[in-house]
Structure 1
Amino acid sequence: MAEFLFELYSEEIPTNLQKSARAEIKERLYKSLEEEGLKIKSFNIFSTPTRLIISIQKLPLTLNIPSREIRGPKVGVMEDVINNFLRAQDLPKKNIYEKETDRGKFYFIKTKKREISIKDIIIKNILNIISTLQWQKSMKWANTEIIWGRPLRSILAIFNENLLDFNYGHIKSTDKVIIERDLTRVATKIKNFNDYKKILKKNEIIFDHEERKKIILNKFKNTCQKKKLSEVFNNKTLEDVINIVDNPNVLLIDFDKKYLEIPNEIIISTLEDHQRYFPLFDKKNQLTNNFFVVANKPDNKNIIKDGNKKVVEARLSDAMFFWEKDKSKNLIKQIAKLKKITFYEKIGTLYDKSTRLRKLAGYLSDEFNISKEKVEIAASISKSDLCSDLVGEFPELQGKMGRYFALAQGFEEDVANAISEHYLPIGNNSVVPKKPVSYTIAIVDKIDSLVGFFFINEKPSSSKDPFALRRSAIGLLRIIIENKLNIKVRDLINYNIALLQEQGVKNLNSHTEKEIIDFLKERMKNFLKEKNIKSDIIDAALSSNSNDNFYDLFKKSIMMNKYIDKDIGKNAVNSFKRAYNIIEREGKNIQGKPDTVLFRKDAEKNLFQKINEIKIILTDKEDNKNYEDLIQNLSELKPFTDSFFDNVVVNDENIDIKNNRLELLKMFCNTFNIFVNFSKLEGLR
C-alpha cells in the first residue's frame, strides 16, 4: 500500500484562514477521491502558521475500473446528439448499440475494463482543489497567476516514496522540506511521512495543531494547580493561539496590582482581544493580576516575558487614565455630543437614533406596563458611552462601559444594565436580556436598525449583510419569544417609519413594512425548523392572521406540532377539512357572513353559536393564553360539524339557503384560520 504526503509551505497564514482551509481541503479532497472510487482508510490534515499538510495512508497504486453499460440518448435523436455522447465517453461509433427499456429504445455503449494510476487521480484532484480554494481573503503576488491565502513558497508532494511531479503556476512540486530559522533556509529531501515528522521534530516544529493544543492546555493546568488558580480559559483565544505558534511555550506573567482597580472587562479585553493572552482567575472566580502568554520559542532570558509585561501595563495605564477621565462625564450631557457621530449617512447621527429610541421605548412602555420615564432615560443615554475615550480605545466594550459610567453617576441599576444589555444577544447562543427595561431598549434598538436600513433600501442580499440585519432580526425574535412578549411588530415598524420621516430621512422603499415582516418571518421559519417543527405547520402559522405577533406564532407552532398527530389535532384538522373542501369547490365568492334568518336546521344554529364562542376565545387579547386549551376548543367543534353534515344538505334547491350554508362553512374556516392557516397543512393543499 502507498502513502500520499502533501505540504503547502507559505508565508504565515492567519488563524481563521488556516481553520477554514483545513476544513475545506479535507472535505473536498476526501469527497472527490471517494467519487473516483477510492476507499480512504486514513486521512489527516494538519497546519502550522506556515504549513498546510495532508497525509493519506494505505492507498493502492492503481484503481481497477470495471466495464459498465452506459445509457445514451433515445433512438431517433439527431446525429449531433449521438456524436456528443460518444465524444464524452471517448469511444468510436462502432461501439454503440440499441436496447429496449421500460422508457423506450435507447442507445447504449459498454466501456472497457481499465486500470488507472492513483497518482494521476491525486494530481488531478489536488490541483483542482487548491486552485479553487475559497479563501475569505486571498493574495496575488509578483507576476504570478496564483491566488492564495498568503504567498506560496513551496509545494511538497510525495506518493509511494517518490516525487509526485507537477506544476502549480510557477511552482514546481518538490520532495524537499524547507526549514527556515534565524535567516537561514535549509531544504532536506525526504521519502515519506516518517521522514517528514523526524525533520520537523528535529527543528522543534509541532505540525499537529491538536497536539499543540494538548501541550498548551497541559502547561496551563499544571501551572494553575501549582498557583491555585482556576482552570478556565477562553476557548476562542486558545483556538487562535494554537494556529500562530508551531513550538508553544507557556509563560506566566503578572502586571501591577493597581490596575485591578479598573473594571475587569477592560483588563480582560486588553489581554484577550488585543493581545491574545489568557487572563487568570482565582478559585473564587476573582480576576488576578496574572496572565498566560503562549510564545513560539523558549524564553530562557525572560526577554519575551518582560516585553509582554511592558506592553500590557502600557495599555492598562492608558485604560486607567481614560477610565478616571470618562466615568465622571455626565451621560445626559454626552447625548448632545452624539450629534457629531454619524450612525449612517442616509439615516443620520447617533443623536437622531437615540431620539427615535427614546420615543419607541416610551411607546412600548405602555405595552409592557413599565415606567415610561425609566425606559426613556435608558434609551436616551444608551449610546452616550460611544463619546468616551475609553470606548474609542476599546470599541468592543460599548455598552459595558456605559453601565459602569451610569452606576458611578447614580442611575438606577436597571437603567444602567439596559445600556449594557441592549446589545444582546450578540450571537445565536448568547443570552438575551431578561429585565423589562433592558429588553425594551434591546427591541427598539434592533427594530430601528431594521427599519432604518430597509427604509433607505439597503437591505441584505443572499450573499451580503453588511449591517448584520439578519443577526438583529434573529436577536429580536429571540428576545420576544424567550421573554414571552405579545407585541404587534407591525405597529412598532410603522411608528418607527413615521419617526424617520419626521427627521427628514428620505424614503427610498415604499414597501418597508411588508419587507421587514417578510424578512422576520423568514428568520422565524429557520428558527422554528431548528426546533424541529414540521414545515407545513410553520407555513400554517406564518400565514395566519396573527403573523406579526411572533410569540403567538411560536406558541401556536409548538402546540400544533405537539398535537397534530393526536386525537385533539386530528379532530380539529378533520373538521376543517370537510368544510374547506366544500368551500374550495363551491364557495369562490363567499365571505363568511351567514344570515341567521336563513337558518332552517338546529344543526346550522348550533354550529353558528359554537363558532362565535370559539371566535371570542381565539381573539381574546389576554397575554397568558393557554394554547393547549385553544386547540382543544377547535377540536370540540367536531361534533357540531358532524351534526351539520349529517343533518344539513349544503347544496339546497333554494340558492339563498345554499349560499348561506356556504357562508356558514366559510365563517367556520375563517375562525380556524385565526389560530393558524389550516389550509396550509399537509393533505389540505
Structure 2
Amino acid sequence: MSQRHDLLVELGTEELPPKALKGLSESFTNSFVNSLEQARLNYTSVESYATPRRLAVLVKGVEARQADEVVEKRGPAIQAAFAPDGSPTRAAEGWARGLGIDVADAERLVTDKGEWLLYNATVPGKGIEELVQGFIDTAVKQLPIPKAMRWGSGSHQFIRPLHTLTVLLDSKVLPAELFGVQSDNKVNGHRFHHPEQLTLTQAADYADVLTSGHVVASFAQRREAIREAVVALAKTENAVPVWDEDLIDEVASLVEFPVALAAGFDESFLAVPKEALIYTMKDDQRYFPLVDQQGELLPRFIFITNIESRDPQQVISGNEKVVRPRLADAQFFFETDKKTKLSERLNKLDSVLFQKELGSIGDKARRMEATARFIADELKADKDAAARAGLLAKADLVSSMVMEFPEVQGVMGMHYARHDGESETVAQAIEAHYRPRYAGDELPNSLEGCAVALADKLDTLAGIFGIGQTPSGDRDPFGLRRAAIGMLRILVEKELPLDLVTLVRSAVANYGSVIKNPDEVTDNVVDFLLGRFRAWYQDQAISVDVIQAVLARRPTVALDFDRRVKAVAEFRTNPQAEALAAANKRVSNILAKSDEQLGPVQPDLLVESAEKALYDVLNGLKDKVSAAAVNGDYAGALSALATLRAPVDEFFDSVMVNADDDAVRRNRLSLLDALRNEFLKVADISLLQS
C-alpha cells in the first residue's frame, strides 16, 4: 500500500471580494479534487479553508506517487511491418525506435480485423512534487473571477494581489510558483492581532496554527461562530435577530476573527417604516437588526467586528456614529415622500421606460389596473380595490426612498398608501404584488393582492412575448420563467379556479394594437406557462412521464392541472396501473392505425362474452368517472377506472379486434375508443412508462 501524506496549498492575498469568497473557495477545492482524481491519486479527505485574505485546501491521506501504468502501444500492421524476406521495414523500425525498443521486443496483437505489432509500455507514475504545480495552475485558471486586476510593475492578473504561496507535503515545502511568488511554509496571521507571519511545520497543523494567529481559517466554522455569537448576544438583549443567510455568508467573508457587539440608535428613527431601517442596517452596514418577540423593530442591532478590542465601547460608539447618518437619510426620504401622494406620482411613471416597444411604467400601471379589475371580478373579490392597487402598485418607484433603496419597493408603496388614506386592502395588495419574489417566498394573503400580483406578471409575459423577446437558453432578462412559476404558485396554492387562456387573453387585449397577433401570442404564453409545470413538478420529485400524461390533455386551469398530476402520480402506485397503461398504449396504437369514423357502441353487435363484459363494466363506471372528473376528484376517477384491469385483460386475451365482419370490427374499435375516452377525462396514461 502506498504511503499517505497531507498536502496543503494556500494562496495568501489582499482582501478578497466578500460576495465572491464562498464561490471562489468551492471552485478552488473542487478543482483540486478533480485534479487528484484525474491524476489517479487516492486520498482520505479534503478540507476547504477560506478567509478574506486566503484560499486554501488541505488534502489528507493523499498518495505521494501515482501507480505505474501499463499502456498498449500499437504499431504498424504486420504486412507493413515486415518485408517479404522477413526483415523489419522502416515503418516498424521507426515505431520501435520511438519507444526505445527493438522490433524483436514487440508482441503481436491478433484480432478478427488483422494483426499488428504491439508493445505494452510501462509508464512510470509521477510524484506529487511534479504534479502539484499543474494542480495549482488549473485551480487558479478555473476560479470564477468577477474582475481580474493587475498590481505592481508586473503583468500578472488575478482577483487580488498575491503575497504568499504555501505548498506543504507533511513538513516538506514543495517547489511551486504563482505570479512570481515562490512557495514557502509561511502564512499570514491576523492583520492586526498577529501581523507577523506564522511558520508551519506540518501541513495538518494549518488550522491550529492560524488559530494561534487569531484567524478562524474554516469558512463554515467562522460562519457558525457568527451565528452562535449573534444568538447569544441577542438573548441578552431580550431580542431576536433578523436573519438573512446571504448576510451571514457576507459577514463571514469580511472577518477572520469574528467578535459580536451590540449597539443602538435613536428611538426617533423607529417612526420610519421598519423595512427601510432593516434594509439600511443589513445591506449598507452588514448589521443584524433586532426585533422583539412580536416582530417589532428595536432601536438595537448587532454587528461583527474583526478585532477583539480592549475598549469595545469605542468600537460600539464608532458604529453608532456610522449608522446614524444612514438612518437619518432614510428618515429624510420618508418624510419627504409623504408630502406627495402615490396618485400624484403617476404622471412621473410616464417618463420611466418599461420597454421601448411596450411603453412606460405608467402605461404598464394602467394595463395592470384593467387586468387586476378583470381578475378580481372573476374571483368575486373587491374589483375596485384591486384596480386601484394595480394602478398605484408601481408609483413608489419614483419615490426618494425606493430610488435610494430599490429593495423596499412595494413595501414603501404600502406604507405611503396607508399615509395617503387608501384602504388597507389597497395598501396590502400593493405590497403583495411582487410576491412571490423567489422560490419559497410567501404568496399574497388577499384575493385582491393575488389579482394585482397576477396582473403584473401577466402584463410582462404578454408584452414580452408580444414583441418576440421570449427566453432562450439561459437568457431571460425580464425574468419570465420566475414570473410564470410565481403565477402558477398563486393559482395552485391559493386554489384559484382561473383559466390561463382567459387570463392571458385579458392581458394581451389590454395592449391593444401594440400586439399585432393576439391569438398567437395568447397560445404561446399559455404553452410557456404549462411548460413551466414540468420544472416545478420535477422539483417535487414527480416523474416526467406523469407530467407529460397530463400535458397531453392540455388542461388550462392551473389548479385543475395540479389535481390531475397529483392523481396520476398516486395512480402510478396502484398495482393495476402498469397493465392499464400498457393497455391504453395498445388501444392508442390500434386506433391510430384506423381511419374509420367511430360512433357509439352498438350493444347488439357485441358477440364475444369478453367484449360484452367490458362494455357492461365500462357502462357502469361512466357516470361515476364523469361525476368525479367534473368535481376535480381525479384520484377517485382513476381509482374507479383501475377496476377495469381484469375485463380489459380478458378482452385482449379473447377478442380479435380486426374481425372479418366490418360492422363488428368498427363496433370493437368504438368500444376501445370509449374505453380510452374514459381515461382521457383525467390524462393520457398511455404515456406512462413501466
* TM-score normalised over the length of structure 2: 0.85
Secondary structure at 1:4 match in 2: strand
- Alignment of 1:54 with 2:57, yes or no, is yes
Q: 1:558 aligns to what?
A: 566
- Alignment of 1:10 with 2:10, yes or no, is no
Q: 1:448 aligns to what?
A: 459
- Alignment of 1:392 with 2:403, yes or no, is yes
2:553 to 538, 544, 548: 544
Contact 1:545 1:676 in 2 (8 A): no
C-alpha spacing 1:194/1:26, structure 2 compared with 1 (3 Å): closer
C-alpha spacing 1:291/1:672, structure 2 compared with 1 (3 Å): same
Residue type at the aligned position of 1:125: F
Q: 2:683 aligns to what?
A: 676
Please give the alpha-carbon distance, in whole angstroms, between the structure 2 residues aligned to 1:274 and 1:210. Answer: 24
C-alpha spacing 1:200/1:454, structure 2 compared with 1 (3 Å): same
Please give the alpha-carbon distance, in whole angstroms, between the structure 2 residues aligned to 1:89 and 1:41. Answer: 36
Q: How many residues align?
A: 677
Please give the alpha-carbon distance, in whole angstroms, between the structure 2 residues aligned to 1:105 and 1:452. Answer: 68
Please give the alpha-carbon distance, in whole angstroms, between the structure 2 residues aligned to 1:84 and 1:140. Answer: 49
Contact 1:545 1:675 in 2 (8 A): no
Contact 2:563 2:632 in 1 (8 A): no
- Alignment of 1:569 with 2:580, yes or no, is no
Please give the alpha-carbon distance, in whole angstroms, between the structure 2 residues aligned to 1:568 and 1:489. Answer: 33
Q: 2:165 aligns to what?
A: 155
After TM superposition, give the deviation of residue 528 of structure 1 in Å.
1.3
Q: Which stretch shows the higher mean deviation, 246-255 or 272-281?
A: 246-255
Q: 1:367 aligns to what?
A: 378
Q: 1:415 aligns to what?
A: 426
Please give the alpha-carbon distance, in whole angstroms, between the structure 1 residues aligned to 2:307 and 2:11. Answer: 23
Q: What are the equivalent positions in structure 2 for 1:57-72 lying under 5 Å apart?
A: 57-65=60-68, 67=70
Q: 1:23 aligns to what?
A: 26
Output one character per residue of 1:558-579: Cα deviation in whole Å (capped at 9) or x when no partner.
2222122314535643552452
Q: 1:121 aligns to what?
A: 131
Please give the alpha-carbon distance, in whole angstroms, between the structure 2 residues aligned to 1:508 and 1:89. Answer: 70
After TM superposition, give the deviation of residue 489 of structure 1 in Å.
1.5
Contact 2:225 2:258 in 1 (8 A): yes
Q: 2:317 aligns to what?
A: 306
After TM superposition, give the deviation of residue 50 of structure 1 in Å.
1.7
Q: 1:43 aligns to what?
A: 46
Output one character per residue of 1:190-229: Cα deviation in whole Å (capped at 9) or x when no partner.
5444776677456533333344335434543443343333
After TM superposition, give the deviation of residue 477 of structure 1 in Å.
1.9
Q: 2:595 aligns to what?
A: 589
Q: 1:319 aligns to what?
A: 330
After TM superposition, give the deviation of residue 33 of structure 1 in Å.
1.0
Contact 2:251 2:286 in 1 (8 A): yes
Q: 1:349 aligns to what?
A: 360
Residue type at the aligned position of 1:626: D
Residue type at the aligned position of 1:46: Y
Secondary structure at 2:511 match in 1: helix
Q: Which stretch shows the higher mean deviation, 632-641 or 611-620?
A: 611-620
Output one character per residue of 1:39-88: Cα deviation in whole Å (capped at 9) or x when no partner.
32242221111211222233343333354779999999999xx9999999
C-alpha spacing 1:90/1:525, structure 2 compared with 1 (3 Å): farther
After TM superposition, give the deviation of residue 398 of structure 1 in Å.
0.9
Residue type at the aligned position of 2:162: L
After TM superposition, give the deviation of residue 12 of structure 1 in Å.
1.7
Contact 2:413 2:431 in 1 (8 A): yes
Secondary structure at 1:62 match in 2: coil
Secondary structure at 1:6 match in 2: strand
Q: 2:286 aligns to what?
A: 276
Secondary structure at 2:126 match in 1: strand
Q: Which stretch shows the higher mean deviation, 103-112 or 514-523?
A: 103-112
Residue type at the aligned position of 1:387: V
Q: 1:254 aligns to what?
A: 264
* TM-score normalised over the length of structure 1: 0.85
Q: 1:498 aligns to what?
A: 509
After TM superposition, give the deviation of residue 423 of structure 1 in Å.
1.0
After TM superposition, give the deviation of residue 188 of structure 1 in Å.
6.5
Please give the alpha-carbon distance, in whole angstroms, between the structure 2 residues aligned to 1:475 and 1:380. Answer: 20
Residue type at the aligned position of 1:553: F
C-alpha spacing 1:575/1:54, structure 2 compared with 1 (3 Å): closer
Please give the alpha-carbon distance, in whole angstroms, between the structure 1 residues aligned to 2:525 and 2:643. Answer: 37
- Alignment of 1:296 with 2:306, yes or no, is yes
Please give the alpha-carbon distance, in whole angstroms, between the structure 1 residues aligned to 2:149 and 2:95. Answer: 40
- Alignment of 1:338 with 2:349, yes or no, is yes
CA RMSD of aligned residues (A): 4.2
After TM superposition, give the deviation of residue 515 of structure 1 in Å.
4.2
Contact 2:22 2:249 in 1 (8 A): no
Contact 2:190 2:215 in 1 (8 A): no
Please give the alpha-carbon distance, in whole angstroms, between the structure 1 residues aligned to 2:231 and 2:172. Answer: 43
Query: Percent identity among equivalent residues?
Result: 27
Q: Which runs of 5+ in 2 are unaligned?
A: 82-88
After TM superposition, give the deviation of residue 367 of structure 1 in Å.
3.2
